[in-house]
Chain A
């Protein structure tokens, strides 16, 4: 099986995000970059599938050179090789990003593609759906379980739906699957794994070589940080009065009860 993983490098969720002085984007200096946490589930599921079905796991990342660190992390976990599509100087929206990735999915003829259900930086949850559309293969997202038939022709996956219900979906391969928390427990990179990772190949492509440039459908108009949190309200006095007051605030202002 040729197993593809769409992996995005994102700022660590504990990073304190700062904007550039001219507000044209993020100040990247202090950011610690990590694998998108949902993509870690994708890497793990791909590795487990490879352990059962054989074949190879290919990490596909669209990103600048720094993204190689996260790709190496996935290679250290056990993936076999990587393809990085350099996006330095390229202006890509979600649509174009997906066009590029879909092109790679087609070229590589993946039997199955795992990705995180969304990236935690922009939370768009759109790219894997676009990719499946452009590559003309089916998709399910988010998935909480994954089981492949013994002939490796179709997979059964479980998808959470409203009200705590579960939807059980049978899907034909090749397909794209968006991975949800709880699907698995991503492994640690072992020390021998880290040592081997440096010798695993990461091919480099330019996004311009994969797709013709097109009009962006979505343009970023600007960036703003969330407003500073307003100071809390403190209720003081006799308990009987304070409790009533507090309940009133929680009901009418905070609207949490």
Chain B
């Protein structure tokens, strides 16, 4: 029986199918050969490696857990999770691209779109022929998306959009934006806005110190008219965009493990080689304490993600379970990146090692897709039945 080709202290491999292990291996090979050799250059220049899109699409990485009839690879959720883990071991920006495409663009079209919308967009998005983005967050409405001020007004057979979205991954390069806006009755509805539509602009947000190899944009709508047929007919209220976030957060729960493993593996290698006071620093108790903490938390995180995936496949999970996975594993990755950076000493701040890049990336992941604290409060609400955040 084959084994996972990654940190696997508790023999998670024994809990996986042959196929799931093959998918992890395939994704890892891709990241080793195609992502790691180029990622520093893109990180330094703050550019997204767009040349990877057709390659990832060709291998079925986009919308990988969608059924084949819509261009997906038909992966179960555990295999999909292992894919996001390996992609994020490469870079959170690459994983973010795939998360947005699958969970935030293909998912809402698949779940809430008309048959025409599905047939037109899903195969093109899966093949990487079209790129999508998801516009929910606004400058003044992050954790509280229900307060959004973007409005959609029906005018004959058109909808007219006005407002602005912020922190939108892929925005500037997207061919289609899934945009959430309130109609005149105050109900949140979803719309597909194509690039080049009059009144729609997507300027890139520059000067980020995190997710530098990913495009982040604003979306602005000034009397932007779209055909009525571009509305997602099945999306009725805030629950629709929140259901998309649940999908994306699931991928992040696994993805964060990839970031944590990359940092842990770099720290272990460094601790064994770096000699101070005539011996490898891995021989010092303070270093061993950190490495032990990292391996233990990664192992716990793997078990959490695996069971979450199995529950998702069975349909017995809730968004609260996903909150715990995202909350815990991103926190673990964030701590691991800090510890690894400490173990690497001065070398930890250069991009000769992947650690500082992961450390800066995970800062975004810690507060996007529901801040760490929002997930704590979602779980707190589940425990007590009392909503603390309103």
Contacts and interface: CB of A to CB of B under 8 A. Distances in A.
Interface of A: 32-33, 69, 72-73, 76, 188-195, 197-198
A32 B5 CA distance: 10
A192 B68 contact: yes
Contact of B19 (A32, A33, A188, A198): A198
A118 B83 CA distance: 33
Interface stretch (B21-29, B150-158, B267-275, B292-300): B21-29
A190 B59 contact: yes
Contacts of B2: 33, 69
A194 B19 contact: yes
* 7 closest residue pairs by CB, A with B: A191-B60, A191-B73, A190-B59, A192-B73, A192-B60, A190-B60, A194-B22
A187 to B, nearest CB: 9
Point out which of A73, A194, A198 has the most chain B C-beta atoms below 10 A from its C-beta.
A194
B353 interface: no
Given A69-B2, A72-B18, A73-B22, A191 B29 contact: no
29 contacts: A33-B2, A69-B2, A69-B18, A72-B18, A73-B22, A76-B26, A188-B26, A188-B29, A188-B59, A189-B26, A190-B59, A190-B60, A191-B23, A191-B59, A191-B60, A191-B75, A192-B73, A192-B74, A193-B60, A194-B19, A194-B22, A194-B23, A195-B73, A195-B74, A195-B75, A197-B19, A197-B22, A198-B18, A198-B19
Point out which of A32, A188, A195 has the most chain B C-beta atoms below 10 A from its C-beta.
A195
Nearest to B75: A191
Contact of A195 (B19, B29, B30, B83): B19
Contacts of A190: 26, 58-60, 73
Contact of A188 (B5, B30, B75): B30
Interface string B167-203: 0000000000000000000000000000000000000
A73 B26 CA distance: 10
Contacts of A32: 3, 5
A32 B61 CA distance: 25
A164 to B, nearest CB: 29
Interface string B1-23: 01101000000000000110011
Given A72-B18, A198-B19, A191 B26 contact: yes
B64 interface: yes
Nearest to B33: A188
A102 to B, nearest CB: 30
Contacts of A189: 22, 26
B26 A194 contact: yes
B170 to A, nearest CB: 21
Nearest to B62: A191
Given A72-B22, A191-B75, 7 more contacts: A188-B26, A190-B73, A191-B79, A191-B83, A192-B74, A195-B73, A197-B19
